[in-house]
Structures are given as C-alpha cells and as structure tokens.
Amino acid sequence: MFSHFLDKDSKALPQCEARKFFDADEEIFFKRIQKALPNCLIFPHVQLASILDAHVSNEKKRQLMRQKLQERHLDFGIFNQALELLCVVELERDPVEDVEEEYPTRKLLKSAGIKCIRWSRAALPTAEQILRTLAPYSNLEAPKLETSMQTIGKLFLDEDLKDPAKLQSKAFTYIEHGNPNALSLAAINRITPDSFIKNEYPHIWQKICLFAGDPGYLKNYLESLFIQNRPIKRRGLPKHVANEVIAIQSENARYVIPKTPDPVWDPTFLHR
C-alpha cells in the first residue's frame, strides 16, 4: 500500500516521443490504394465501434459489446465521397495468427453486410490489382479502358503533327496510359531496376512505354525485337538488355487476353 507514496514520479508527466503513423507495409499499401482509387476516401486504423453497432437488448451486455468493438481496429476503411462505407481492408501476417475471439470480427462484419478484403503483408498487391479487386465494391465509375495510342492521341493538336520533334516530346510527356489492365510505367521501371534498355536503347525504351497501355500491341513489339530476318539488319540485343526485355514480356503476358482459336472445318459434318 506504500508503493504509491514511494514512487515519487507517479504523478509526473511521462516523456513521450513521436512515432510513425504507419508501419512499412501499411505505408506502401496506403500509397498504392490512393493511386488505385483516387476518388475514394481512405481512412486507416478504423475503430470497429465507429462502423458497427451491436443490437443487444440487455444494457449491461450492450456496454460490454461496445467496449469490445472499441478495442478492435481494421487496417483501412474505403469510403465514397458521401462518406458511405464501401468495404474494409485487412493486411494479414503470414502465417495468419489463429486468435480465438468470443465474437470473431469476420462474423460481425458479415452480419452487418460489410465486405472485408484481406491481403497478405508478405505479398502486397499492386495498384492495378487493388483496382481490379475493389472495383465491384465501389459505386464510383471505373476508369474507361483505352489503349495507349488512344489516350495519347487525344493530347495532340493538328500543329503537333507537322513537327515530329514536338510530337515525340509531347507524346512522352503524357505517356502514362491509365489502363488498369496493362503494365504501368511504374511497374516497367520496377522490372528493369538497372535501366539497361533505357540507357543503351532509348528508342526501344520509348516504344515500350508508348505501347504499355495495350498489352497485345506491346507483346507483338517485344517479340519483334528478337526477329532476325528484319528489313533492317540488327546485331541483336546484348544479353543484359535482352534479359530486361524478357522480364517485361513475362509480366506483360499476365495481361494479354488469349485469342480464341478458329474453328476447324470437319468435312464429314455434312454426311452425319
């Protein structure tokens, strides 16, 4: 009972220091989701009690449940401009911690009709993957898909077409295509951290960026770089440059829609 009196600093104001609001994974994800959903409002560390209300008739139990909800937080809440909740996001650690809860958060959210999207912290989604996943839960109009040529073409004036130098400069000033179903320029830069293509073959790099918004067109162009029987002979790409091209090919293949094979004519069909 005398411990309180012996502790001279019991009423002293504790020393505090500033801490980062996000941990590393949360910061990366927050920047990506802002890029993917620029018209949505993203709120981090959402208290469960701020989006759920328990319908319990017993006052004591209702207060207890309220306290439990106040103690729990979700990583992110996605809202529209009218501050209506669209869905919530949880970043899970691997392996997922098996914590027994008297009232599991997943079931509470489900009972309220709130969709919860979960991603692993060990494999955070890209901005493109976030947009594709969250689009069904947003009442915002999805970005219109365009090819890079269509997007950039809208930026040209008639007089630009008369000056090739100006045309090229303007094209690569507005190169970001905005197609979520294609490789972004940020992704291409991430795939080629050593920038061999950009530094040694700038004309090839410019075309890769120009065609990035159209996966099929980019596929054909990248394949053409390895064709030897071209009208203009080329020495072939050095191995380190070719490796970067192959890396881009591999990532771009995820966005290419496979063609439906033409039907094969069966001559015996008429005699059946």
Tens digits of residue pLDDT in 63-94: 888 888 888 899 999 998 889 899 999 998 76
124 contacts: CB under 8 Å, gap ≥ 6: 25, 28, 29, 32, 91
- Positive or negative torsion for Cα 61, 62, 67, 70: positive
- Domains plus CATH for the chain? 24-137 (3.40.1350), 148-252 (no CATH)
What does the alpha-carbon distance between residue 10 and residue 39 come to, in Å, rounded to a whole number? Answer: 48
What does the alpha-carbon distance between residue 163 and residue 204 come to, in Å, rounded to a whole number? Answer: 21
Tens digits of residue pLDDT in 18-70: 988 888 889 999 988 988 888 889 999 999 988 988 887 787 888 888 888 88
Output the pTM of the full model: 0.47
